[in-house]
């Protein structure tokens, strides 16, 4: 299949692009490199540098490459920033997504996969969180994904565009020693902790230890980036029949303190930690119920616990302390 991967130079998009190339798919990566890295894109893929805000460019890519499917990773992704800059999120994320969708419909694309998020569930009624949980976005970032999910629902009804909305919980780990996570600024716990082990950061700050959790720190569900990639590939193949919405996590929670302690064991570094104030908008516990994708598509994570995930992340970070070359 020929697949357009927006944001395919970023952390998750590049990993999925590599896995698609391995399965024999033709991949066209479109990325503005605001966060992405040129050398994270697989050599076998066509790479086009550009911004989704440029509707003419998006149309010209559709015309030239005629993708059969789109995987849409490109996005502003920072929850905290989105509270300070809602226009950038509810504005740009949505407008860019709509540019892509308009073009997709015009050029006859019938399969679309959206990177959605656990940030749809600010006040879950039940943990683990099923795909049917009520949606209360935790930020303008989460709201932008919710709007795009709703838009996709109508694209399906109006234009027979089949979609999968994949709501990732905390993506983590690395696909190998040459492909991993590198954001600037970095806000994700595991790379931040590993930066301390590399001597690039003095200590890690734990935001709050007075939550209603066993050790008082927030509990999250970490999912390996390769397990996410498998979910994308399974969903893409299944989209011939009907649209789908899936929550994607391991179904197990690990506290911030547990992650820091595991990273100490994996790296052999003491990783000093201090307790800071809570961050606004951090729910105490987010754990996914991924039963639906397991039952429908036979998806099965290969990295069910956080130690295996941190080991792969450490391999990437310790072999590439300065990150990607470009």
Ligand X SMILES: NC(=O)c1ccc[n+]([C@@H]2O[C@H](COP(=O)([O-])OP(=O)(O)OC[C@H]3O[C@@H](n4cnc5c(N)ncnc54)[C@H](O)[C@@H]3O)[C@@H](O)[C@H]2O)c1
Question: Catalytic site residues?
Answer: 141
Alpha helices in 33-134 (DSSP H): 55-65, 79-84, 86, 94-106
Closest distance to ligand X from the beta carbon of 183 (Å): 6
Per-residue interface string for the shown chain with ligand X, residues 234-253, x marking contact by CB under 6 A:
--------------------
Count the Cβ atoms, other than its own, within 10 Å of residue 27. Answer: 24
Which segment (25-33, 156-164, 285-293, 300-308) binds ligand X by CB under 6 A? 25-33
CA 129 to chain centre: 17
The enclosing H or E element of 48 equals: strand 46-49
Does 9 interact with ligand X (rule: CB under 6 A)?
yes
Tokens of 102: 């308009």
Q: Which residue has the tokens 């397990």?
A: 227
Does 103 interact with ligand X (rule: CB under 6 A)?
no
Which residues lie across from 26 on neighbouring strands?
2
Q: What are the phi and psi torsion angles at 305 (to 5°)?
A: -125, 160
Which segment (3-11, 57-65, 239-247, 292-300) binds ligand X by CB under 6 A? 3-11
Q: Between 230 and 275, whose beta carbon lies closer to ligand X?
A: 230
Tell me the residue ranges of DSSP E strands in 61-183. 69-72, 111-117, 162-168, 170-172
Closest distance to ligand X from the beta carbon of 106 (Å): 19
**How are beta strands 222-224 and 69-72 bridged, if at all?**
unpaired
The binder of ligand X chosen from 36, 142, 180, 251 (CB under 6 A):
36
Does 144 interact with ligand X (rule: CB under 6 A)?
no
Tokens of 173: 């780990």
Does 255 interact with ligand X (rule: CB under 6 A)?
no
Does 312 interact with ligand X (rule: CB under 6 A)?
no
Which residues lie across from 288 on neighbouring strands?
129
The binder of ligand X chosen from 18, 75, 155, 235 (CB under 6 A):
75
Count the Cβ atoms, other than its own, within 10 Å of residue 218. Answer: 25
Q: Between 16 and 204, whose beta carbon lies closer to ligand X?
A: 16
Does 112 interact with ligand X (rule: CB under 6 A)?
no
Q: Between 33 and 275, whose beta carbon lies closer to ligand X?
A: 33
The binder of ligand X chosen from 82, 103, 117, 255 (CB under 6 A):
117
Q: Could you give the CA distance from residue 326 to residue 322 in angstroms, rounded to a whole number?
A: 11
Does 32 interact with ligand X (rule: CB under 6 A)?
yes
The binder of ligand X chosen from 96, 243, 262, 312 (CB under 6 A):
96
Does 168 interact with ligand X (rule: CB under 6 A)?
yes
Question: How far, in Å, are 29, 149, 231, 236, 244 from residue 241 at the CA level?
Answer: 26, 18, 16, 10, 10
> Which residues of the chain form contacts with ligand X (CB under 6 A)?
6-7, 9-13, 31-36, 51-53, 73-75, 77, 96, 115, 117, 168, 170-171, 183
């Amino acid at each position: 299949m020929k697949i357009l991967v927006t944001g395919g130079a970023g952390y998750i998009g590049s990993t999925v692009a590599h896995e698609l190339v391995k399965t024999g798919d033709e991949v066209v990566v479109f990325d503005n490199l605001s966060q992405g890295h040129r050398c994270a894109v697989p050599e076998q893929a066509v790479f086009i540098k550009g911004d989704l805000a440029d509707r003419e460019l998006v149309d010209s890519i559709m015309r030239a490459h005629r993708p059969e499917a789109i995987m849409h990773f490109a996005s502003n992704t920072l929850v905290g920033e989105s509270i300070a800059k809602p226009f950038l999120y509810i504005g740009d994320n949505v407008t860019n997504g709509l540019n892509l969708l308009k073009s997709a419909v015009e050029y006859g694309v019938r399969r679309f996969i959206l990177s959605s998020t656990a940030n749809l569930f600010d006040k879950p009624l039940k943990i683990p969180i099923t795909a049917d949980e009520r949606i209360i976005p935790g930020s303008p970032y989460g709201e932008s994904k919710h709007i795009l999910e709703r838009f996709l629902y109508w694209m399906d009804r109006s234009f027979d565009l089949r979609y999968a909305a994949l709501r990732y919980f905390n993506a983590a780990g690395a696909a190998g020693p040459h492909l991993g996570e590198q954001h600037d600024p970095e806000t994700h716990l595991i790379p931040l902790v590993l930066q301390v082990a590399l001597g690039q950061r003095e200590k890690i700050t734990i935001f709050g230890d007075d939550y209603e959790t066993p050790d008082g720190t927030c509990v999250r569900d970490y999912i390996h980036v390769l397990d996410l990639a498998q979910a994308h590939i399974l969903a893409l193949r299944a989209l011939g029949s009907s649209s789908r919405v899936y929550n994607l996590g391991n179904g197990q929670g690990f506290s911030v303190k547990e992650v820091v302690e595991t990273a100490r064991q994996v790296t052999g570094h003491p990783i000093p930690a201090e307790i800071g104030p809570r961050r606004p908008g951090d729910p105490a516990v987010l754990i996914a119920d991924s039963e639906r994708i397991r039952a429908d598509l036979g998806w099965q994570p290969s990295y069910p616990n956080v130690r295996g995930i941190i080991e792969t992340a450490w391999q990437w970070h310790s072999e590439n302390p300065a990150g990607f070359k470009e």
